[in-house]
Amino acid sequence: MYIDVTDATFETEVLGRSDHEPVVVDLWAPWCGPCKTLGPLLERVIDETEGVTLAKVNVDENPKIAATFSVQSIPSVFAIAKRAIADGFMGLVPEAEIRAFAERLVAGPSELDLLVAAGDEESLRQALALDPGHEAAVLALAALLVDSARAEEALALLARIPETPESRHLGARARLSEMPDAAILADTARVDARLTELLETVKDQEEHRQEFIDLLEAMEETDERKARFRRALTSRLF
């Protein structure tokens, strides 16, 4: 059994579901020969693995998901646990490797998993000593560093992992915290005024363009100003 996932359902069917169980994401396309061979193997193995869901994504029809994973070639397979990439492989691999991949997903928590779950700075640094590019550990530690005014270290840490919405949000917060007038971030009216001011120079001044984008990234997705100022930025740039 598997579920077909689209750009519209990815948040719920993959990220939301991964809060409770591992989700294996199979990125494929109808024209991809190796995908047609791997697909049935993956379906059979995951169907035999209790507590794991297989989500199939046609990358031709769902470009946002493909971009999220920075897909360079297909087939590409990723295991998502707790909204982060836990494992994965690319290309057509033997069934034995697929079974080993599935078994890792249902194994008990590793030392690395326990350190990341602890969530304190010391534990997260120990986790990164074991796996310097562990996405969940990088994001969690970067958030702690931003909150404790260590922006430069947070930005260096985020550079270890592929860009995601969460890493962009943290990067924006880190850069904004170093602004001479960072206090404006707590004042909605002053943020709006600054964005309006920056619109006059975003096209020609890269530094102002980056600040404008960071101010938007720091906003919640539900903030109606975000879409309004994005449209304003697009009209100025293009």
Instruction: Name the residues annotated as catalytic.
Output: 32, 35
Give the end-to-end CA distance of the chain in Å, rounded to a whole number: 46
Residue type, 88: G
What is d(CA 45, CA 54) in angstroms, rounded to the nearest whole number?
Answer: 10
